[in-house]
Structure 1
Amino acid sequence: MKIGLLTCEKLPELTLADQQLIPELAKHNIIAKAVIWNDKKIDWNDFDYLIFRNTWDYFEKETEFNLWLDQIEKLEIKTLNAIEIIKQNKHKFYLQEMEKQGITILPTIFIDKKTNLNLTEILPKHWAKAVIKPAFSGGAYLTSVFDASAIEETNDEYTKIAEEKELLLQEFMPEIQTLGETSFIFFNKKFSHAINKKPIDGDFRVQSQFGGKYNLIQPSQELIDKAQKVVNTFQDKLLYARVDGIVIDTELHLMEIECIEPDLYFELSEGALQRFVASIIELIQ
């Protein structure tokens, strides 16, 4: 059995955490290799499975990534998660469907591509502050937070972007700065561990590259059940899913469910790497 662990040019050998997958899989007689998703020299038919791990530039290369997904699908290479899940999950308008299925999401307005963006018309009057970002994005890419009083400046900044990309406009929740964001990690649809991420003072971005601090937490069973409900909206198998949200008064407000290439925080939860590998084996046998 040969598995390609998909990564990007910035991380040709994977992250340090994901590098540990290679010796761990070798214990089960599985050869795993880091492969850059857009490396033209790779023969994808060499692999029995591909696993999306550190493809952290896909949103910067939208057209190329979409064409590559089509290529892998035509070659009938098996992937974890499945290509159809990747295609759905890479574009955050899936949150509309989540809401229709009874999931509580952050207050969100979905903006189709347009040549005459007018945020003043779109922004609800009771929103004092908002976050705007492309629907096809990750890692705070082209993401801004703005006060309603500065809406014209933001409109000017995003008018060109709106011509090329769909956008999400979300009410800014100040709790992100105090309570932080909570990530619930699931392997093969079973809860594994949870991480709380808090931004540095004065920022809203929780990513570590912006100084965010991460801590392993043990959420209540009630919260785990709410995250499980999000995962269960997927009919197909899932090797992994990361449910990201803000917990306010025991209610989970979904920000996104990551099924493409999320950090799974193996290093913060003892046994998480082994649980992940066990889930790979369950799904490929």
Structure 2
Amino acid sequence: MIEGAMIWNEPNNKSHWDPEVDPDWSIYADTVIRAGAAIQRVNPEVKRVLGGMSPIDPFWVQRMRDMGALDAVDVVAVHGFPLDWNLWPIHAWPDKIAEIEAVAPDKEIWATEVGVGSFGAEEVQVFGVNRTAELLVGRVPRVFWYSLYDLPQSWGATTRHREAEGSSYYRHFYMGLIREDGTPKPSLEHYAKVADKMGLMQWFHFEDPRLDDAVRWMKQLGVRHLRTGLSWADSFRPGAIDWFDRQMEALADFDVTVTFCFTPEHLGVQPHHTSAAREPQGFADFCEWMIERYAPAQALPKVTAA
């Protein structure tokens, strides 16, 4: 079941939304307004989620409010990686949530991507799982741990700058609870204790061979909530709908927050996946199509007069 639809991933992060194309986020705000309206038109029960911000920035949220984008969503999402990429301590999580609550008091705040990697030591990740759960479970309605699997080294991370990021780039490959070779890390046992309360965020690449194994692991762990993505760019690949159908059917037993993002090169202001679209309505049409296909509104039962 799709319970939430996220409009882009980390739009205030230059690795995911090109600041040269949209320096004041006005195109993004227009994209949110159009996509939010399209999702609500198809199924008003699906929660519309403002693309999880990274860094957590209340001034950016206020900018979105000033441009009308917050009126088009139900949830404001945050992403945080305090032991890997962020310049604040893990213990500051409650303060970071409060900063966003202060500027969006009428919205739910979800932590849609939280994580601690095992780049330095697997013991650090064990601490990260336990402390993150202590700080966030019960504090916000949804928490999603990133991620179930380590990213395979041969796949490369979805970031514009890659090796130019130095060690920050290589941390992308150590965020999972399960190693690239399929063996569990010590942190998996600790995550299992809170799996019914702290969901998982797992990207599935196009025709990802890990899909069935991931479903098996998540059911074994007792995971209820999952965040993943459906790529607008991938929708133009041959066989895209067959893959989307397979992915969403495999995930049908979970409460899914689906992230819509990544611009097809031929539709971007610049020819890359982080570019704003030349016509934001095209992205909104994609969101509408996906909700119609995978989360259509349920018709109310007819009531007959006695």
Q: Same fold (TM over 0.5)?
A: no
Q: TM-score, normalised by structure 1?
A: 0.34
The higher relative CO (CA closer than 8 Å, separation ≥ 6) is in: 2
- Of Structure 1 and Structure 2, the greater strand share is in 1
Q: TM-score, normalised by structure 2?
A: 0.32
- Of Structure 1 and Structure 2, the greater helix share is in 2
